[in-house]
Amino acid sequence: MDALEVMMHKERTYPLFQPIFVAGKHEVVGYEVLPRLRIEEHEYDLTDFFYDSLVPEEYRLEIDRYIRKQALEIQKTRAHMWLFYNINPSLYDGSPGDRLISELAEESTEMILSISLSDETVKWYTLRHFVQFLQNSQIRVAMKETKNAKITMMDIVQVKPDIIKIDIGDVERENVNVHRELLHTFSIAAGKIGASLLFQNIKGFQQLSDAWRQGALYLQGDYLALPHPTMIDNNQEKLVKNFRSFLNYEREKKRASLQFSRFLSERMKKLISGRVVHMDSDTLAQYVGRSLQDICFRVYICDGEGFQLSGNAVKHQSDQWEIYEENRRQNWSWRPFFLENIVQMHVDGGGILSELYMDLHRHEQIRTYSYPAGDGRYIFVDIPFSYLYERDFLG
């Protein structure tokens, strides 16, 4: 929209409020302020207006302040609620930032400032001093990821925000499984620096489920509540119902995994006994593979330091097993949880079933069952997704 047209209709700009829910209590904890302009029957989203470098800064600051004052006035009716307010940090360098801090101090309100990159601010690390300035003024800061400005682990470490806002809508637009792994990485990184995760743009049941599984403290999106001119408080029952469904599903998954792990353990005990001590590692891998060929497609043997002692015993479509040499002497200790699992198997004497993960060779999700051979060697049995998919709660 033309900047002059926005300025001419300044009195028709206003905020909408989209509720943000806190996962622990299943209730609204605050609202994101969304800038709008209405001309006749048309409502316009003004978000891009504030990030358009062709629009004079004084125009953008004037409209931003006008909408913010309206939001703060409405917020007085719900004084215990937070406001998540989006700002273009490039507009608040120097004296505009000082005025913003003074205004918020006078209001004595809980406002969380959400920042994201723009054409004027293209690198996150350039904002770390601005973020520290806000935090030193007792204002919490949220880092907002956008489609064109992703957040990396280094960005999080350098900026150290209080909240990380992730657009979970990207899960539907990109490789779903890879994106979920990235979400998990964000969850770990946030925990390391003491930040909370806010998953926004939740538009359906599956996206809410993904957010819940990744440890989101805050949840937002049209699936939970639409933006509204007033601060509505609803959908607590919907959230509780969905979370109960997630819990039931996860409980069944855990139960199925434990039962499957016990089943594999019993079969491995019958296979191993004392007969494998005199087998070389290639023979052992092929022996286990042929004995479990109804379940697995690949078997290999490692020592306690993570070095692969055997080649990969791989099943062909004809049910013939062949040894492939490419990973012999490969060390797998760099894998997450690998050494932890080795130690656990050594201490407990039992097997471990992994979660689903992406196999680099097959480009599909698999699970691995690992089991101690009892002579310092460890057996790794790779199970294809086709087998897991046919069994409830394993795939």
Question: Which of 227, 245, 276 lies at the terminal end of a domain, its last residue?
Answer: 227
Answer yes or no: do 192 and 75 share one domain: yes
What is the rounded CA–CA span in Å between residue 51 and residue 119?
8
The mean-pLDDT minimum among 140-154, 291-305, 357-371 falls in 140-154
Q: Which band of pLDDT confidence, cut at 50, 70 and 90, is reported for residue 149?
A: low
The DSSP letter of residue 124 is G
**Which residue range(s) make up the domain with 112?**
3-227
The mean-pLDDT minimum among 142-151, 228-237, 295-304 falls in 142-151
Q: How far is CA 202 from CA 10, 34, 80, 213, 281, in A?
A: 31, 16, 24, 14, 49
Question: Which of 179, 197, 227 lies at the terminal end of a domain, its last residue?
Answer: 227
Phi, psi of 13 (to 5 degrees): -85, 150
Q: Say if 357 falls within a structural domain.
A: yes
Q: Say if 395 falls within a structural domain.
A: no
Question: Which of 202, 227, 252 lies at the terminal end of a domain, its last residue?
Answer: 227
149 is written with which tokens? 């400005």
Phi, psi of 312 (to 5 degrees): -85, 120
In this structure, the strands spanning 377-383 and 364-372 are antiparallel
What is the rounded CA–CA span in Å between residue 111 and residue 261?
49
If one counts the domains in the chain, the total is 2
Mean pLDDT of 280-297: 95
* Per-residue pLDDT tens digits for 265-282: 999 999 987 777 789 999
pLDDT of residue 173: 54
> What percent of the chain clears pLDDT 90, i.e. is strictly above it?
59
* SS3 assignment, position 161: coil
pLDDT of residue 122: 64
The mean-pLDDT minimum among 19-33, 72-86, 169-183, 381-395 falls in 169-183
Res 141 pLDDT > 70:
yes
83 is written with which tokens? 């406001």
The DSSP letter of residue 92 is G
The DSSP letter of residue 44 is E
Q: Say if 259 falls within a structural domain.
A: no
Answer yes or no: do 221 and 276 share one domain: no
Q: Say if 253 falls within a structural domain.
A: no
Within a 10 A sphere around the Cβ of 16, how many other Cβ atoms? 19
Answer yes or no: do 15 and 129 share one domain: yes
* Per-residue pLDDT tens digits for 355-370: 998 898 888 999 999 9
CATH number at residue 342: 3.30.450.20
The DSSP letter of residue 146 is B
Q: Say if 169 falls within a structural domain.
A: yes
Mean pLDDT of 333-362: 90
Instruction: Say which residues have a Cβ less than 8 Å from residue 316's Cβ, sequence separation at least 6.
Output: 322
Mean pLDDT of 138-149: 81
Q: Say if 245 falls within a structural domain.
A: no
Mean pLDDT of 11-38: 94
Q: Which band of pLDDT confidence, cut at 50, 70 and 90, is reported for residue 34?
A: very high
Q: How far is CA 46 from CA 9, 16, 96, 240, 345, in A?
A: 12, 11, 20, 33, 58
The amino acid occupying position 261 is: S
What is the rounded CA–CA span in Å between residue 199 and residue 205?
13
Mean pLDDT of 42-53: 93
Within a 10 A sphere around the Cβ of 260, how many other Cβ atoms? 19
Answer yes or no: do 49 and 150 share one domain: yes
Q: Which band of pLDDT confidence, cut at 50, 70 and 90, is reported for residue 49?
A: very high
Chain mean pLDDT for the chain: 89
